[in-house]
Chains A and B, each alone.
Chain A
């Protein structure tokens, strides 16, 4: 299995809803990422997990809450989002943890298209 999967593909939610995005990989990668991507822009890093521990939080608002239940799964819990949070949310993983001779080659999932009404 050489892919990163994400569910759902599309999500529409109101500002008072609570929802979760899911990401899964079975490549044995030990670093997993959440990115946010607006139209015609490059991905923006949100969170990095390494060995199931949160390593980087790029000053993301608390209405986004990441969770890494095990080495294959990554969740992003959403609560009280704003319309400006509408975007493509991408999950990525990579082979080696920091500190190794890693080229930081990241493998992306297909993304979840989120619309906040």
Chain B
């Protein structure tokens, strides 16, 4: 069974601070996605990383896939209250698979 360990589980920071969320596994994933979910809503896909060592940027968010495709990180620069939400990483074990392995999520609160 593939597992994704996500850390930290909870994070409360002041507006303007930087933060990093980690997603780690002992297994290799063919691709990995990051989602953000707001209370009472469905997860929204932020990014998919595919290649080991890949870095993708989405405005103030920077996503990195580990060289061995076993881990990923999400870095937010100058956090805003609108960044508040549950961040989920989800790994795809192999191309063509139906199922995603979800991490347990990081609950981020950005205080104005």
Contacts and interface: CB of A to CB of B under 8 A. Distances in A.
Interface residues of A, number: 31
A107 to B, nearest CB: 6
Contacts, number: 74
**Chain B contact patch, size range:** 20 to 34
Given A45-B99, A55-B98, A103-B30, 12 more contacts: A40-B105, A40-B107, A42-B90, A42-B102, A43-B43, A48-B98, A56-B99, A103-B48, A104-B33, A104-B92, A108-B35, A110-B41
9 contacts: A31-B98, A43-B102, A98-B96, A98-B98, A102-B95, A103-B50, A104-B100, A108-B44, A111-B41
A16 interface: no
Contacts of A48: 98-99
Nearest to A108: B42
Contacts of A59: none
Interface of B: 30-31, 33, 35, 40-45, 48, 50, 86, 88, 90, 92, 95-100, 102-105, 107
Interface of A: 4, 6, 31, 33, 40-43, 45, 48, 50, 55-56, 88, 90, 92, 98-111, 113
